[in-house]
Structure 1
Amino acid sequence: MTWSYGYFTDLNYIHGYNRDMNPAMLRLACLCQAIQPQLSEEPTYLELGFGQGLSINIHAAGSAGSYWGTDFNPAQTVEARKLGLASGANLRLFDDSFEELASRNDLPDFDVIALHGIWSWISEANQKVITDIIRRKLRPGGIVYVSYNCLPGWAPVIPIRALMSLYKEFGEARMSGPLGMIEGALQFSGEVARAGSIYFQENPIAGLHLEQLMKQERAYLAHEYLNADWHLGHFSDMARSLGDAKLTFVGSARLLDGMDTLQLTDEGRKLVSQIGHPIMRETVRDYLLNRRFRSDIFVKGARKMSGSEHRDAWHSLAFVLSTPLADIPKKIPLGRGEVELPADKYDPILEALSDDKYRPKGVDELLKHPKLRGFKPQDVVEALMVLTGAGFTAPAQEPSKKVLEQCKALNGHILDRARVSLDLHHMASPVTGGGISLPHIAQLFVLAMRDGKTGPDALANHVWELLDGISERLVKDGERIESKDESLKELRGSAVKFLKFGRPLLEALQIIESADISGSPFEAYQ
Structure 2
Amino acid sequence: MAWSYGYYTDLNYSYGYYSEMNSAMLRLACLGQAAEPQLREKPIYLELGFGQGVSINMHAAGSAGSYWGTDFNPTQTVEARRLAAASGADLHLFDDSFEELSSRNDLPDFDIIALHGIWSWISEANRKIIVDIIRRKLRPGGIAYISYNCLPGWAPVIPIRELLSLYQDYGDGRMSGPVGMIEGALKFSADIAKAGSIYFQENPVAGQHLEHLMKQGRNYLAHEFLNADWHLGHFSDMVRSLEDAKLSFVGSASLLSGVDALRLSETGRKLVAQIGHPIMRETVRDYLLNRRFRSDIFIKGPRKLSDSEHRDAWHAQVFVLLKPIADIPKKIPCGRGEVELPTEKYDPVIEALSDDGYRPKRVDELLRHPKLQRLEPKDVVEVLTVLTGAGFMGPAQQPSQKVIEQCRALNRHILERALVGMDLHHMASPVTGGGIAMPHMTQLFIRAWNEGRVSPDLLADYVWDFLDRIGERLLNEGSRIESKDENLKQIGIAASKFLKFELPLLEALQIVEPSLSGEIAMRGAMDGGAGAPRMVGEAMRLS
TM-score normalised per structure 1: 0.97
**1:517: Cα distance to partner?**
10
1:254-282 deviation line (CA, Å, top 9, x unaligned): 00001111111111111111112111111
8 Å CA contact 1:388–1:394 kept in 2: the answer is: yes
* Superposed displacement of residue 490, structure 1: 1.1
Residue-by-residue CA offset, 1:80-113 (whole Å, 9 max, x unaligned): 0000000000000000000000000000000000
Partner of residue 510, structure 2: 510
Q: Distance in 1 between matches of 2:391 and 2:214?
A: 27
Give the equivalent residue in structure 1 for 2:522: none
Q: Is 2:117 the partner of 1:117?
A: yes
Deviations 1:377-423 (A, max 9, x none): 11111110111111111011010000000000000000000011000
Aligned to 1:309: 309
- Letter of the 2:484 counterpart: K
Shift of 1:31: 0.2
Distance in 1 between residues matched to 2:211 and 2:271, nearest whole Å:
34
Which residue number in structure 2 is paired with residue 382 of structure 1?
A: 382
Q: Does residue 1:248 correspond to 2:248, yes or no?
A: yes
Q: Distance in 2 between matches of 1:92 and 1:472?
A: 38
| In 2: Cα distance, 1:467 partner to 1:38 partner | 50
Give the distance between the partners of 2:247 and 2:259, measured in 1 at CA: 23
Q: Is contact 1:315–1:362 with CA below 8 Å preserved after alignment? A: yes
- Output the CA distance in 1 between the equivalents of 2:215 and 2:64: 39
Residue identity in the other structure for 1:178: P
Contact 1:407 1:429 in 2 (8 A): yes
Counterparts of 1:214 and 1:326, CA distance in 2:
33
- Partners of 2:432 and 2:37 in 1: CA distance: 17
Q: CA deviation at 1:46?
A: 0.1
2:20 equivalent in structure 1: 20
Which secondary structure does the structure 2 equivalent of 1:47 belong to? strand
Moved over 4 A (4+): none
Match of 1:439 in 2: 439
5+ long unaligned stretches in structure 1: 519-526
Summarize the alignment of residues 22-61 of structure 1 with structure 2, pairs less than 5 Å apart: 22-61=22-61
Deviation at 1:480, TM superposition (A): 2.3
The offset of 1:467, in angstroms, is 2.0
Q: 1:40 offset after TM fit, Å?
A: 3.3
Match of 2:137 in 1: 137
Secondary structure at the residue paired with 1:11? coil
| In 2, Cα distance between equivalents of 1:256 and 1:36 | 20
Which one is further off, 404-413 or 469-478?
469-478
Task: Give the Cα–Cα distance (whole angstroms) in 1 for the partners of residues 37 and 65 of structure 2.
Answer: 16
Q: After superposition, what is the alpha-carbon deviation per residue over 1:342-397, rounded to whole angstroms, capped at 9, x for unaligned? A: 00000000001011111111111111111111222111111101111111110110
Question: Is the CA contact (8 Å cut-off) linking 1:418 and 1:444 kept in structure 2?
Answer: yes
User: Once the two structures are aligned, what percentage of the paired residues are identical?
Assistant: 74
2:199 match? 199
Matched with 1:285 is: 285
In structure 1, the residue matched to 2:66 is: 66
1:274 alignment counterpart:
274
Aligned length, in residue pairs: 518
**Partner Cα distance (2:474, 2:127) in 1:** 44
Partner of 1:494: 494
Q: SS at the partner of 1:68?
A: strand
1:348 aligns with 2:348: yes
Alignment map for 1:194-273 (pairs within 5 Å):
194-273=194-273
Q: Secondary structure at the match of 2:56?
A: helix
- 2:332/2:338 contact within 8 Å kept: yes
Alpha-carbon contact 2:262-2:335 (below 8 Å) kept: no
SS at the partner of 1:515? coil
Q: Spell out, residue by residue over 1:503-526, the C-alpha distance to the aligned partner (whole angstroms, 9 max, x if none).
A: 1110000000113599xxxxxxxx
Q: Deviations over 1:468-497 (max 9, x none)?
A: 222232222122223222211110010011
For the 8 Å contact 2:318–2:363, the answer to whether it is kept is yes
Structure 1 letter corresponding to 2:65? G
| 8 Å CA contact retained: 2:121, 2:231 | yes
Q: Within 1, Cα distance between the matches of 2:173 and 2:21?
A: 38
**1:213 is aligned with what amino acid?**
L
What is the rounded CA distance, in whole Å, between the counterparts of 1:37 and 1:240 in structure 2? 21
Q: Secondary structure at the match of 2:112?
A: strand
Letter matched to residue 74 of structure 2: P
Q: Secondary structure at the match of 1:295?
A: strand
CA distance in 2, matches of 1:398, 1:472: 41
Distance 2:65 2:473 in 1: 40
Q: Secondary structure of 1:332's partner?
A: strand
1:145-192 residue CA offsets vs partner (Å, 9 max, x unmatched): 000000000001111110000000000018721111111111111111
Distance (whole Å) between structure 2 residues aligned to residue 137 and residue 467 of structure 1: 49
Please report how far the alpha carbon of residue 39 of structure 1 lies from its aligned counterpart in structure 2 after TM superposition. Answer: 2.3
Matching of residue 449 in structure 1 with residue 457 in structure 2: no
Amino acid at match of 2:37: P
Aligned mates of 1:252, 1:212 — CA distance in 2: 26
Q: Give the drift of 1:232.
A: 0.2
Look up the equivalent residue of 1:107 and give its one-letter code: L
- The normalised TM-score by structure 2 is 0.94
Distance 1:447 1:246, change over 3 A: same
Name the CA distance, whole Å, in 1 between partners of 2:137 and 2:180: 42
Aligned residue number for residue 128 of structure 2: 128
CA distance in 2, matches of 1:39, 1:3: 35
The worse-fitting range, judged by mean Cα deviation, of 182-191 and 90-99 is 182-191
Work out the CA distance in 1 between the residues paired with 2:338 and 2:391: 15
Q: Contact 2:168 / 2:174 at 8 angstroms: preserved in 1?
A: no
507-516 or 133-142, larger mean C-alpha shift: 507-516
* Per-residue CA distance 1:100-147 (angstroms, 9 max, x = gap): 000000000000000000000000000000000000000000000000
The CA RMSD measured in Å over matched residues stands at 1.2
Describe the SS at the equivalent of 1:381: helix
8 A contact 2:50–2:70 mirrored in 1:
yes
Checking the alignment, whether the CA contact within 8 Å between 1:414 and 1:427 is kept in structure 2 is yes
CA displacement at 1:317 relative to structure 2: 1.1
Answering whether residue 482 of structure 2 is matched by residue 482 of structure 1, we say yes
User: Which one-letter code corresponds to 1:513 in the other structure?
Assistant: E
Distance in 2, Cα, partners of 1:313 & 1:516: 37
One-letter code aligned to 2:436: I
Distance 1:91 1:428 in 2: 15
Name the residue aligned to 1:178.
178
* In structure 2, C-alpha distance between the alignment counterparts of 1:137 and 1:517, rounded to whole Å: 50
- SS of match in other structure, 1:319: strand
Q: Gaps spanning 5+ residues in structure 2: where?
A: 519-543
Match of 1:143, SS?
strand
1:435 alignment partner AA: G
Specify the code of the residue in structure 2 equivalent to 1:255. Answer: L
Question: How far apart, CA to CA, are the structure 1 residues paired with 2:263 and 2:332?
Answer: 11
SS in structure 2 of the partner of residue 233 of structure 1? coil
- The answer (yes or no) to whether the contact 2:52–2:77 under 8 Å persists in 1 is yes
CA distance in structure 2 between the aligned counterparts of 1:247 and 1:201, rounded to whole angstroms? 43
Q: For residues 324 and 175 of structure 2, what CA distance do their matches in structure 1 show?
A: 44
Q: Deviations over 1:13-41 (max 9, x none)?
A: 00000000000000000000000132234
Residues 80, 178 of structure 1: CA spacing in aligned structure 2 closer, same or farther, 3 A cutoff? Answer: same
What is the aligned partner in structure 2 of residue 365 from structure 1? Answer: 365
Q: Which moved more, 1:40-49 or 1:217-226?
A: 40-49
Q: Secondary structure at the match of 1:454?
A: coil
Please tell me the residue identity of whatever aligns with 1:35: A
Q: What is the alpha-carbon distance in structure 1 between the residues aligned to residue 115 and residue 90 of structure 2? A: 19
Residues 409-444 of structure 1 show CA distances to partners (whole Å, capped at 9, x for unaligned) of 000000000011000100000000011001000000
Give the SS at the match of 1:428.
strand
